[in-house]
Structure 1
Amino acid sequence: MTDGPTYGFDTLQIHAGARPDPATGARQTPIHQTTAYVFRDADHAAALFNLQEVGFIYSRLTNPTVAVLQERIATLEGGVGGVCCSSGHAAQIMALFPLMGPGLNIVASSRLYGGTITQFSQTIKRFGWECTFVDFDDLDAVKAAIDDNTRAVFCEAIANPGGYITDLDAISAISDDAGIPLIVDNTSATPYLCRPIEHGATLVVHSTTKYLTGNGTVTGGCVVDSGKFDWSANDKFPSLSQPEPAYHGLKFHETFGPLAFTFHGIAIGLRDLGMTMNPQAAHYTLMGTETLSLRMERHVENAEKVAAWLEKDPRVDYVTYAGLKSSPYHDRVKKICPKGAGGLFTVAVKGGYDACVKLVNALEIFSHVANLGDTRSLIIHSASTTHRQLTVDQQRAAGAAPEVVRISIGTEDANDLIADLDQALSKASS
């Protein structure tokens, strides 16, 4: 789309980044299923490899279909650029890669997806990186956890699995004072419900597998750059501020300005890590984004109805949905997620671990899968699956206690979902 009018979200989710194919006039973005691209001549090839000209070289780095998705997600998030990759986990490593080095650390919320906790507590140690987990409701603890070796603060806008909402304004103020970037995982909220950059985030990461695609077909990830961080303000981020040997001493921030992180993510991150999104996955996700606002409205509407019903049910101990007035995070909804608290929450079932297993096995409409953000309603017992590798204390800190199930509310008829939960709870409590 060209510069000019300021378009609404519903228009941008369909049109941003996409133009009719100049060769055929095709209105839908084609799947460019190709590994490589023909250069005009030797000078053109040299300019591309020197980062003196923007274009397509090899599909590990750039692909026209993926490029449309990158621009669309960045536009919806209010960023200057985006880099798509193979999964949400890949996006997290891609986001950290230019910032980190041996002996450095990040400060992360204790309320994160279980796989992220494992990645940050175990896997990144192999790179010599460390992570300190903190309750992000305790702002003093967040401040205290940051030291001279901290290079990023990480949290989720709407935390998986509990649906807790992070006070992004308060956390970004802390990261700003420390001179380090705030990275926000916006998977559970999507840019329709929350735009973290407007609350001070430097980088936004997504598992596009979830709500952005919305149909449970492909995995993918994306890193969106706000373009607002001064990578040259100090010597903490040499990958972006200092000469890059692989490009004859080019300085990414000096050369590319607000797009420094995005260009580094492609020219270094995708080049060397190879966490590439394939063009067919990008195509599925582009189609998913076209209905994002419509789906999110229904997810929220259904979640509010189902959560309110569950909260009143005597077979349930508690429901963590922030859209409920009883939630301690209810006041943050209007500030952080003004269009609703999302479609994800947890339910504590009376009868503990065994009752949760019975509930999961008895459901008929809900699918028992390790995913969220689908049009289908999904359920999982996190303590025995996604958070299985954690200790019970870590499970409880992450909102995935043994007596809890995670529910991702889909876009079906809410009354049918309630009826399904009703019959399954009866079997779970018998």
Structure 2
Amino acid sequence: MTDKPLGFDTLAIHAGAKPDPATGARQVPIYQTTAYVFKDADHAARLFNLQEVGYIYSRLTNPTVMALAERVAALEGGAGAICCSSGHAAQIMALFPLMGPGRNIIASTRLYGGTITQFSQTIKRFGWSCKFVDFDDLAALRAAVDDDTRAIFCETIANPGGYVTDLDAIAGIANEVGLPLIVDNTTATPWLCNPIKHGATLVVHSATKYLTGNGTVTGGVVVDSGKFDWSASGKFPSLSEPEPAYHGLAFHPALGPMAFTFHSIAVGLRDLGMTMNPQGAHYTLMGIETLGLRMARHVENARTVAEWLEADPRVEAVTWAGLKSSPWHDRVARIVPKGAGALFTVAVKGGYESCVKLVDNLKLFSHVANLGDTRSLIIHPASTTHRQLDEAAQVRAGAAPNVVRISIGIEDAADLIADLDQALNAATV
């Protein structure tokens, strides 16, 4: 190895992975164990005091899961990472050290429907709240910040519509007001975008999607940039002050850039228990090895299919940001220069009923509540993922009743177009 920084595809294969010291196994083994034998009482005490990095109990850390955390952190350019049981778990884990009763976050209106529900309904049970703002209205974003705001949240490429967030502008405001910016990078992946380079404090992923890439795993990851000063404002006492939930340790003064990561393990995973299983981590590690290859094909296919759909008279509109007609096209070169991802929506002439017929008549596309698979996927959000929202909220989220969401896979693009063509014929007659 040299001192030169390693390339993306090299990190995707090697980061976090070393030959197993016991056997020499080249692939990261699945450490299917609950607990780990301490060398002696002093060794155990050092581990619990966070004076030494090691393994205590697999709800906290596990060698297979830790290898995945190190790999994703390396790809995102972060100081550390925590793996969780799902993408939704990752979002709660990201907020947990920052929030308290009466505190709020500000989130983009353009989010996955499940995230909107989590933020508008579920987090109320913790005494937290969320203000939803159009992140293209920077003045409204600034105005929404109050003394109880603790974070700003958005997606790099929003699900379902493929909207590209101006991360530089949002990070600028977060920096002005002294708040962490949390970016969901699931649909972009670190191959298309590193939000930390654009000013993000924390990056969250649903590893269920492109990172694993084959529809076999439910998992999530939180990556910490290590760059935020948790002690500057007094707003984050769990990190800056003695933590009563961990024998009075002041995480940020003691651990600096790794404060958030260690707090999330020692307190978050310990008490919330939203742990990724080692077999899931193993599958995700293998998936990430080909992430760069897959994403290049995903984006290439997305361009081919989106351009074909935009020109089709049976279609009202296509939201892929790589199209010159997209209002977000000018952000692509700056935020996601390798391409606008492979997720977008299609407004079908004939409205709700035509969307249902389109979904029911596709043969190659799979009708599933997922995205980021090697297989091409489709869903009608208004009747599924976003059905809990009223129509106005569906429209704001990019999931109007006449819209289907498409996740383009890595099949032959000509076959995908042929399948859409015959299904559109059936849907719009």
Regarding TM over 0.5, the answer is: yes
Is residue 16 of structure 1 aligned with residue 41 of structure 2? no
Alignment-derived partner of residue 38 in structure 2:
39
Q: What does residue 82 of structure 2 align with? A: 83
What secondary structure, in the 3-state scheme, does the structure 2 residue paired with 1:84 have?
strand
C-alpha distance in 2 between matches for 1:83 and 1:364? 38
* 1:246 CA drift (Å): 3.2
Letter in 1 for 2:295: M
| Contact persistence 2:246–2:266 (CA under 8 A) | no
Moved over 6 A (4+): none
The size of the alignment, in residue pairs, is 429
2-structure distance, mates of 1:213, 1:190: 11
Residue of structure 2 equivalent to 1:155 = 154
Partner of 1:407, secondary structure, is strand
Match of 2:360 in 1: 361
Partners of 1:312 and 1:167 lie apart in 2 by 27
CA contact (8 A) 2:59 2:270 kept: yes
What is the aligned partner in structure 2 of residue 143 from structure 1?
142
Q: Deviations over 1:338-382 (max 9, x none)?
A: 100000000000000000000000000000000000000000000
Cα offsets for 1:362-411 (capped at 9, x unmatched)? 00000000000000000000000000100101100000000000000000
Aligned to 1:407: 406
In the TM superposition, residue 270 of structure 1 has moved relative to its aligned partner by 0.1
Instruction: Name 1:180's counterpart in structure 2.
Output: 179
Residue 55 of structure 2 is matched in structure 1 by 56
Q: Is 1:100 aligned with 2:94? A: no
Structure 1: distance between partners of 2:264 and 2:384: 32
What's the counterpart of residue 113 of structure 1? 112
SS of the residue corresponding to residue 216 of structure 1 reads coil
Per the alignment, in what secondary structure is the counterpart of residue 82 of structure 1?
Answer: strand
Q: Partner residue of 2:215?
A: 216
Whether the aligned pair in 1 keeps the contact of 2:347 and 2:403 (CA below 8 Å) is yes
> CA separation in 2, counterparts of 1:337 and 1:92?
22
Asked if the contact 1:370–1:380 (Cα under 8 Å) also holds between the matched residues in 2, the reply is: yes
Q: 1:3 & 1:60 partners in 2: Cα distance? A: 36
Preserved contact between residue 218 and residue 284 of structure 1 (Cα < 8 Å) = yes
Given the alignment of the two structures, is residue 191 of structure 1 paired with residue 170 of structure 2, yes or no?
A: no
**Alignment of 1:254 onto 2:253:** yes
Secondary structure of the residue aligned to 2:61 is coil
CA distance in 2, matches of 1:383, 1:135: 20
Q: Write the distance in 2 (CA, Å) between the matches of 1:284 and 1:325.
A: 37
Stretch moving more, 358-367 or 43-52:
43-52
Task: Tell me if the contact between 1:17 and 1:69 (Cα under 8 Å) persists in the aligned partners.
Answer: yes
Distance in 1 (CA, whole Å) between partners of 2:400 and 2:200 is 29
Gaps of 5+ in 1: none
Q: Which amino acid aligns with 1:28?
A: Q
What amino acid is aligned across from residue 410 of structure 1 in structure 2? G
Percent identity, please.
78
How far apart, in 2, do the equivalents of 1:333 and 1:244 lie? 42
Q: Is the 8 A contact 2:134 2:140 kept in 1?
A: yes
**For the Cα contact (< 8 Å) 2:156–2:165, is it kept in 1?**
yes
Match of 1:236 in 2: 235
Amino acid at match of 2:68: L
Looking at structure 1, the residues matched to 141 and 126 of structure 2 have their Cα atoms a distance apart, in angstroms, of: 23
Q: Note the 1:336-347 alignment, pairs <5 A.
A: 336-347=335-346
Instruction: State the match for 1:129 in structure 2.
Output: 128
Asked whether the equivalents of residues 246 and 267 of structure 2 are also in contact (C-alpha less than 8 Å), the reply is no
The AA in structure 1 aligned to 2:425 is S
Give the conservation status (yes or no) of the 8 Å contact 1:360–1:368: yes
8 Å contact from structure 1 (residues 161, 346) kept in 2: yes
Look up the SS of the partner of 2:9 in the other structure.
helix
Q: 2:240–2:251: 8 Å Cα contact kept in structure 1?
A: yes
Tell me if structure 2 keeps the 8 A contact 1:343–1:409.
yes
Pairwise CA distance, 1:47 = 1.2
Confirm or deny: 8 A CA contact 1:39 1:45 kept in the other structure: yes
Normalised by the length of structure 2, the TM-score is 0.99
Distance 1:278 1:384 in 2: 32
How much has 1:4 moved relative to structure 2? 2.9
CA contact (8 A) 1:383 1:400 kept: yes
1:61-72 equivalent positions in 2, closer than 5 A: 61-72=60-71
Q: CA deviation at 1:52?
A: 1.6
Amino acid at match of 1:27: R
Question: 2:12 & 2:2 partners in 1: Cα distance?
Answer: 16
SS class of match (1:131): strand
1:54 and 1:23 map into 2 onto residues whose CA distance is 19
Distance 1:35 1:300 in 2: 40
- Give runs of aligned pairs for residues 285-304 of structure 1, distance below 5 A: 285-304=284-303
Deviation at 1:3, TM superposition (A): 8.0
Match of 2:200 in 1: 201
Return the alpha-carbon distance in structure 2 between the equivalents of residues 325 and 347 of structure 1: 16
Distance 2:416 2:226 in 1: 42
Pairing 1:315–2:311 present: no
**1:147 maps to amino acid:** D
Secondary structure of 1:300's aligned partner: helix
What is the CA–CA distance in structure 2 between the aligned matches of 1:411 and 1:130, rounded to whole Å? 39
Amino acid at match of 1:37: Y
The CA distance in 2 between the partners of 1:248 and 1:407, in whole Å, is 49
What is the one-letter code of the residue matched to 1:176?
N
Deviation sequence 1:77-99 (CA, Å, 0-9, x none)? 00000000000000000000000
Q: What SS is found at the alignment partner of 1:212?
A: coil
C-alpha distance 4-47 of structure 1, shift in aligned 2 (>3 A): same
1:180-236 CA distances to partner (integer Å, 9 max, x unpaired)?
Answer: 100000000000000000000000000000000000001000000000000000110
Which amino acid letter does the alignment assign opposite residue 34 of structure 2? T
Cα displacement (A) at 1:247 = 3.0
Which secondary structure state, in structure 2, belongs to the residue aligned with residue 215 of structure 1? coil
Aligned-CA RMSD value: 0.7
1:343 alignment partner AA: A
